[in-house]
Structure 1
């Protein structure tokens, strides 16, 4: 970075070109850049080809920003800023609780929470265990795997598909659409071509969920979509647009984030062999280990956008009305004010109040499901693949684009000693 004013002294005129932050080195390891930002520019305005955004990188500032009602999540209130960032086509899949403020957010979250109960999630445990074993059965005899495609994507897609009532035969269609959105910027396309591809993928997914809601309305089942159709808040229900958009939100939030986290967690363990050995020796450590892995390298590096509804300050930096604000959750999780030696992986670190699932009224609704999937998957991977290791040097791993909304791998080649399927072919 070229600007080195004292921390907290920034003004709304301080602008850092995104190219100075989102470098190839950042793509592989963003945490040194986050450390520099926390020290030199804890709240900084960054310019990218599509828009400017204020990045908030310190833990205390992040918690404040995520709780500040002056930072709106209502995309309609953002007006032209919304259109500039997302485009008109995105409106149809963004009419949900993630993109709303109270009282609308309160109503929508209450309705979704009725269907997304702890009892329903706990009832998914046998299904999660079954899917994990089936995927490991496919991998174990071969001695090599591309973990992202063969496991990390498949497990959460199968789980959230079961929860929502998506037929297994539709998984490939869902996968194709979501991966266009996830991997934007990796196909050598121009920004205009990327936006067109995303728009087409969004339209296909919107059409799919419109049809799924209609089918569940005709023939309700025991799935979450059927429960959402009947959920009531007083005299109100979710509108058709809200139902379709909520299905899209639950799919993406419940599948893509877990998928990327599984890859990140495996890499973190394999590159910290002493911590991996400790976990193998004490499997009861796994719940604490998952929390530390979420803090250490979570799959959601930044919050979804907020829009300043009035002039305000964050960390002493003026943020004018109409500005986009992005809270850098991964930076907050590596702030020394949160925990000592934050760049070290310590599976016995204990509770750190990390922000991998956000903070405030938009705190992730699917935390219980994500933890269930992660602990189940890692527990069985440690048992079934005891000598697991990277199949390429760590520096050759290909990560998602630096400015992506997700932190994850495009591919994760692994190798291990082949083992037969327990009990024969399944």
Structure 2
């Protein structure tokens, strides 16, 4: 039961006759909380009874938490959520670079959707980054509701306002080529230019679709395994790669968000849909077999020293192959380097992964298998009922093989890297 008691003011170390009233009320854990500074006993008791009413109704917020700022709780949230290292690093980057400069000192109970929506429209970043920042803010605010800091999350399920005027209404230029289209011929030409040790990584991404980190994390013991699935009165078999882990490169931080330097380390795959076996078309299985015979390291797509590629070092190798380079004359201490004409400026490994998914749509790969091969979790109830069949798998393999053979024919090529003849019959048309 709430009650009130006098609190005498003190001046020069001595109690005076002046006083205010303090409210006392029973908290959920049985202890007594208080609120001070009331002018009358009636006001103090009324405030205390209101706290107990809210506690009984289940919507009470501890007054000690009322002034908690977004920045304070965001750090509490980051300390309590143990995610993959890459995810933690990305969250800290968005907090430090975009969110906290605006919201760090704002009391959470004063944050409104109108203010957040207005702010995100002023961010000088791509719209997808704006969405990610608002989504992270909403996640943190929902956690604050669960932790008893605020009653509701004003950002939950709200639709952002997008800029549809001026430059915001203009189509964004493609990062790859002129229209964003990547051809299988482009992947083959870049792979040929890079040579077998690096080019096989390019082809595997284009025709099997592993993510960048998944390709780096592939182990030779999980490369060219065999899928054996009952089919009719026998079995369907095909070569596969097994993806169960990936390399992630990110800014490492401690629990308070302090930067500790960049690292590259193995992590579990992104989610349950990412851990998968991917069927390999015959040409790719053949080339991977030759590569494993030559490659001395446990990771097939590592550097020449067996270490995982860092993005910066990979870019120095990959970018000239796609974008082209100028001729370099021989001089003292520097060898001659021939010029390369551009193949597809802007091409990157993400676009090559996108090529794989595009090819799956082109050749009509059924949804259960298309989602599985791409490492995506299929939405809806159908994922529990529809499963890939051997017929679906063979149809995908035949389709990818035909796409590759046709691209080789279009380029007038019969071998890759001058070492493996891949022609079947007399024509690939």
* TM, length-normalised to structure 2: 0.25
Of structures 1 and 2, the larger Rg is shown by 2
* TM, length-normalised to structure 1: 0.26
- Where is the helix percentage greater, Structure 1 or Structure 2? 1
